[in-house]
Structure 1
Amino acid sequence: MKILLKATLVIFIYTGLAMSCDKDDDNSQQQNTTIPQTINTAQSGSWKITYFFDSDHEETGHFTGYVFTFNENGSLVAVKGSTTVTGTWSVTDSNSSDDDGGSNDTDFNIFFASPADFEDLSDDWDIISVSNSKIELTDVSGGNGGTDFLTFQKI
């Protein structure tokens, strides 16, 4: 009787553990990429925006021809011919003061004060994926609830 009780208890515990596993516990690149790895990847070369969807429409064309450089000092520079636009960037976790408190993920923070097209890039983006050649980001807008997407491709 005691053995049957112990066996039932063990099965109950293992069943509870199995049920507590979540489908979100996958091996996505974002989950496996640390903050230092993400920073090193961004700093590893020049980038262009290959996709920017702002809530309700695509705005990728606003950034055609711009080359983005994520500098070690936290500056973000976009250059197109003789035009240079400077902003800042960082990668933080959800415990940082840079986070909006909307998620528990690592944030890829971008800030441009102007011009207006670049202001649209200013946000604390959630990381979808990071590879040596692509950084994919998303953000759910607090204002209208729309979802934005931003993709940088290494040049």
Structure 2
Amino acid sequence: MNRHLFLLLIAASFLGGCKKFIEKKQEEAALEIVTNGRWKVSTFTVDGADSISHFTNYSFQFRENGTVEAYNGTLLEETGTWVVNVSARSIFSSFTRPIPALRLLTGTWIITTSTTTTVDATLNANGQERKLHLDKI
């Protein structure tokens, strides 16, 4: 094997390993931010129409084990699931009980902007464009 080709293969495998390491650290940081504290829906629209009234009393606690707890006031109303995909900048959430507000949150949300205390995301489902803004409380 040509020495230059050998060095190129080693460099490529090293860079691939670095990329995976960086992605893992990004996932860990995102997990820490999302699971540290509760979140509330501050803005919610369906096809541009204000629909925040569905979430007036709700807050959400994301857990490291992939569950999300939906609180209506102080009452735990439902536990759903969630999965973050850092490279795709998306979060999948699922609530299965027929609670209208929570069913609106089920699907893959594309994160458009985020900070350590806010998230803006969109979801296209059933021919509707849903947008939300979450704030950490």
Settle same-fold status: TM greater than 0.5: yes
In structure 2, what is the equivalent of residue 139 of structure 1? 123
* Percent of pairs with identical residues: 25
Equivalent residue for 1:128, pick from 106, 112, 118: 112
User: Which structure has the highest strand share of the two?
Assistant: 2
Deviations 1:36-60 (A, max 9, x none): 3322211111111101112352221
In structure 2, what is the equivalent of residue 14 of structure 1? none
In structure 1, what is the equivalent of residue 85 of structure 2? 92
Conserved in 2, the CA contact under 8 Å of 1:90 and 1:108?
Answer: yes
Gaps in structure 1 of 5+ consecutive residues? 1-33, 95-104
1:83 CA displacement:
4.7
Conserved in 2, the CA contact under 8 Å of 1:136 and 1:152?
Answer: yes
**Is 1:154–2:129 an aligned residue pair?**
no
User: Which structure has the highest helix share of the two?
Assistant: 2
In structure 1, what is the equivalent of residue 93 of structure 2? 110
Change (3 A) 1:54 1:36: farther
Compare CA radii of gyration and give the structure with the larger one.
1
Conserved in 1, the CA contact under 8 Å of 2:81 and 2:94?
Answer: yes
Could you state the TM-score of these two structures normalised by the residue count of structure 1? 0.64
Count of residue pairs the alignment pairs up: 111
CA RMSD of aligned residues (A): 2.0
